[in-house]
């Protein structure tokens, strides 16, 4: 019965923070960090206990088709592990970074609301419930993007909110259409009823959902909000948005809907392949021309999401392994890079790569960890990014998608290119700095060191013995189309 606590704990933490904090943020920090640690422990316990049998929790004690159910299977508990992992690092980083902006508990309450929404999206087994938790997460995200209170941040937040509302309307229409042809909103029940329906209507529903959730995932034609929102937000929030939010709200839901519910029709796997390829190449080319550090990282996020989508389009067992491994790896190294960008911005007061210079002496930890993250995102061994990208490319070749494999290789080379630009101008430039105004605090340094160590350590997940334990149950739930239905509705 641990399932509802994934939603209760962060929601309770948000409530308690607003209740007991007056104008001090000390208790808010303690409560939020405690809540995130408990969530992390719970997710590990959940992962171990669901490796044999998934847990289904029906709210209110009603039977499945009449209730909202929560489903904890290996894939959702894998995502539930990533959220508090990045959340903990972001909170450690936030302590002094947010005091630098304004000393307030409101940030932590909104942060907990963000985690509530994402946990809810990941754990729910009901289509409309998913929509509600998605709106909760997005509502917190809009406010957190505008948290700094500068003109650009309001602009980015407004843009994000308008785009998000359009996609939410599309999703609502898609939910209505689904309900009209299946008479149910439970995902497993929909999956059971859907194959007998008119394929034209099913494809239309798929297209509407692809547009709606594709916008949340920032796939290439729907990406316009991401570079503004992710570059304007405070650094820990950028890392949460780029590291977790676009995956929990976008990629996770796409996998759940198109693999488990729709059963991956051929037309959608082709669309995934094409959109993934476009995202990889175009976003990489756009990233090369950027001089704003965080904006470059935001474009890089779109390109890495393209890798995940490409792997999902291939759809073989190995490709899905590459996709979920890349979800974990991208969360780790992109959060780390946003932390680096935030530290540099705090110390030098600029995000422009041309105004940075030799930072190795004044910011040694930032410089070193950014080098590790760069090597990781560009896909050099022995860092984690190398393995997931290699698996995706090998899977593409094995399945006979040679164009996709070439696109992925070109994308990796371009990634290396624009991150070499970051290193060359941003951290090893000519300009010398002897003194900086704001030295990064212990919390910020700890967060960066933890993620840098994880960049190297998560490579061990590739070793067959460990991979069998960690990834095989996750891949099984994604690949086996009938198993999800049986898990929820009973055999």
Partner 1 sequence: MIIYLLCFILFLVGLYGVLTKRNLIKIILSLSIMEYSANLFLVLFGYKRDALFPILEKGKEIQSMVDPLPQALVLTSIVIELGITAMLVALAVRLYQKYKTFDITKIRRLSG
Tell the smallest beta-carbon distance from residue 361 to partner 1 (Å): 31
> Which of 174, 322 has the CB closer to partner 1?
174
Contact 267, 207 (CB under 8 A): no
152 near partner 1, rule: CB under 8 A: yes
- 21, 143, 343, 366: residue in contact with partner 1 (rule CB under 8 A): 143
Asked whether position 167 contacts partner 1 by CB under 8 A, the answer is no
Largest pairwise CA distance in the chain: 70
**Token pair belonging to 244:** 């977790």
Q: How far is CA 49 from CA 2, 44, 73, 231, in A?
A: 10, 9, 9, 39
The reply on whether position 146 binds partner 1 by CB under 8 A is yes
Question: Which residues 6+ apart lie within 8 Å of 304 measured at CB?
Answer: 326, 330, 334, 377
- Which among 113-121, 259-267, 284-292, 300-308 is the span making contact with partner 1, rule CB under 8 A? 284-292
User: What is the phi/psi pair of residue 79, to 5°?
Assistant: -65, -40
Rule CB under 8 A: is residue 172 a binding residue for partner 1? yes
Binding mask 184-203 for partner 1 (x = CB under 8 A): -x------------------
Minimum distance between the CB of residue 96 and partner 1, rounded to whole angstroms?
26
Residues 265 and 225 sit within 8 Å (Cβ to Cβ)? no
Among 16, 99, 155, 428, which residue sits at the site for partner 1 (rule: CB under 8 A)? 155
Can you name the residues that pair with 55 across neighbouring β-strands?
Answer: 72
Indicate which single residue of 161, 257, 347, 348 sits in contact with partner 1 (rule: CB under 8 A).
161
Near partner 1 in 38-97, by CB under 8 A? none
Is the bond leading into 266 cis (omega within 30 degrees of zero)? Answer: no
Segment interacting with partner 1, rule: CB under 8 A, options 101-109, 115-123, 148-156, 337-345: 148-156
Closest CA to 143 of 180, 113, 172: 113
Among 77, 232, 329, 376, indicate the residue that binds partner 1 (CB under 8 A).
Answer: 232
CB atoms closer than 10 angstroms to residue 489: 16
CB 209, min distance to partner 1, A: 14
**Shortest separation between residue 155's beta carbon and partner 1, angstroms:** 6
The runs of H, that is alpha helices, within 233-265 are: 235-240, 252-255
Instruction: Mark residues 291-320: x for contact with partner 1 by CB under 8 A, - for none.
Output: -x--x-------------------------
Using CB under 8 A as the binding rule, whether residue 442 contacts partner 1 is answered as no
**Site of tokens 């650094």:** 235
Instruction: Give 482's contacts (C-beta < 8 A, 6+ positions apart).
Output: none
Task: Specify the DSSP element, H or E, that contains 56.
Answer: strand 55-58
Is 158 a residue that touches partner 1 (CB under 8 A)?
yes
Rule CB under 8 A: choose which of 1, 151, 200, 463 binds partner 1. 151
112 binds partner 1 (CB under 8 A): no
Q: How far is the CB of 171 from partner 1 (least distance, A)?
A: 9
Cβ closer to partner 1: 57 or 179?
Answer: 179
How far apart (Å, rounded) are the C-alpha atoms in residues 6 and 26?
Answer: 24
Token pair of 266 as six digits: 């051929």
274 burial class (0-12, 13-18, 19+ CB within 10 angstroms)? Answer: middle
Which range, of 49-57, 91-99, 285-293, 390-398, touches partner 1 by CB under 8 A? 285-293
Distance CA 112, CA 318 (A): 35
User: Which among 209-217, 289-297, 305-313, 394-402 is the span making contact with partner 1, rule CB under 8 A?
Assistant: 289-297
The two tokens of residue 90 are 């972001």
Number of residues binding to partner 1, judged by CB under 8 A: 38
> Could you tell me the sign of the dihedral formed by the alpha carbons of 380, 461, 364, 431, in that order?
positive
Q: Are 220 and 285 in contact (CB under 8 A)?
A: no
**Smallest distance, Å, CB 223 to partner 1?**
13
Q: Which of 2, 154, 263, 438 binds partner 1 (CB under 8 A)?
A: 154
Question: 138 exposed, middle or buried (CB, 10 Å; 0-12, 13-18, 19+)?
Answer: buried
Stretch that binds partner 1, among 167-175, 315-323, 373-381, 416-424 (CB under 8 A): 167-175
Q: Are 57 and 1 in contact (CB under 8 A)?
A: yes
Residues found near partner 1 in the complex (CB under 8 A): 128, 131-132, 135, 139, 142-143, 146, 151-152, 154-159, 161-162, 165-166, 168-169, 172-173, 175-176, 179-180, 185, 227-228, 231-232, 286, 289-290, 292, 295
């Amino acid at each position: 019965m641990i399932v509802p606590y994934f939603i209760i704990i962060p929601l309770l933490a948000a409530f308690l923070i607003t209740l007991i904090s007056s104008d001090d943020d000390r208790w808010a920090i303690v409560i939020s960090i405690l809540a995130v640690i408990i969530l992390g422990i719970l997710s590990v316990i959940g992962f171990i206990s669901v490796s044999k049998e998934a847990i289904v929790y029906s709210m209110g004690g009603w039977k499945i088709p009449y209730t909202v159910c929560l489903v904890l299977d290996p894939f959702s508990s894998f995502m539930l592990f990533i959220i508090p992992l990045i959340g903990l690092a972001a909170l450690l980083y936030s302590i002094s970074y947010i005091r630098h902006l304004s000393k307030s508990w409101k940030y932590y309450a909104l942060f907990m609301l963000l985690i509530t929404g994402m946990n809810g999206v990941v754990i729910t087994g009901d289509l409309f419930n998913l929509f509600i938790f998605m709106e909760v997460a997005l509502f917190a995200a809009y406010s957190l993007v505008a948290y700094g209170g500068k003109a650009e941040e309001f602009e980015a937040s407004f843009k994000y909110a308008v785009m998000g509302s359009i996609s939410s309307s599309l999703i609502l229409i898609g939910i209505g259409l689904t309900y009209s042809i299946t008479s149910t909103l439970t995902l497993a029940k929909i999956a059971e009823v859907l194959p007998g329906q008119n394929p034209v209507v099913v494809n239309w529903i798929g297209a509407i959902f692809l547009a709606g959730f594709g916008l949340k995932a920032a796939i290439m034609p729907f990406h316009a909000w991401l570079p503004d929102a992710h570059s304007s937000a405070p650094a820990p929030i950028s890392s949460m948005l780029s590291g977790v939010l676009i995956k929990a709200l976008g990629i996770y839901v796409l996998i759940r809907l198109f693999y488990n519910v729709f059963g991956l029709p051929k037309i959608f796997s082709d669309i995934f392949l094409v959109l993934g390829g476009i995202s990889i190449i175009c976003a990489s080319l756009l990233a090369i021309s950027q001089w704003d550090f965080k904006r470059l990282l935001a474009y890089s996020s779109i390109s890495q999401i393209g890798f995940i989508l490409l792997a999902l389009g291939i759809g073989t067992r190995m490709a899905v392994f590459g996709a979920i491994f890349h979800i974990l790896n991208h969360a780790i190294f992109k959060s780390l890079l946003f932390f680096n960008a935030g530290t540099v911005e705090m110390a030098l007061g600029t995000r422009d790569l041309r105004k940075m210079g030799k930072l190795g002496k004044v910011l040694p930890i930032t410089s070193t960890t950014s080098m590790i993250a760069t090597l990781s995102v560009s896909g050099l061994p022995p860092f984690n990014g190398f393995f997931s990208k290699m698996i995706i490319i090998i899977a593409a070749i094995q399945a006979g998608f040679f164009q996709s494999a070439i696109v992925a290789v070109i994308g990796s080379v371009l990634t290396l290119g624009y991150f070499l630009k970051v290193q060359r101008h941003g951290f090893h430039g000519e300009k010398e700095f002897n003194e900086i105004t704001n030295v990064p605090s212990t919390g910020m340094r700890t967060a960066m060191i933890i993620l840098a160590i994880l960049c190297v350590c998560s490579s061990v997940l590739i070793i067959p013995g460990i991979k069998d334990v960690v990834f095989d149950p996750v891949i099984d739930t994604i690949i086996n189309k009938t198993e999800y239905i049986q898990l929820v509705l009973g055999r």
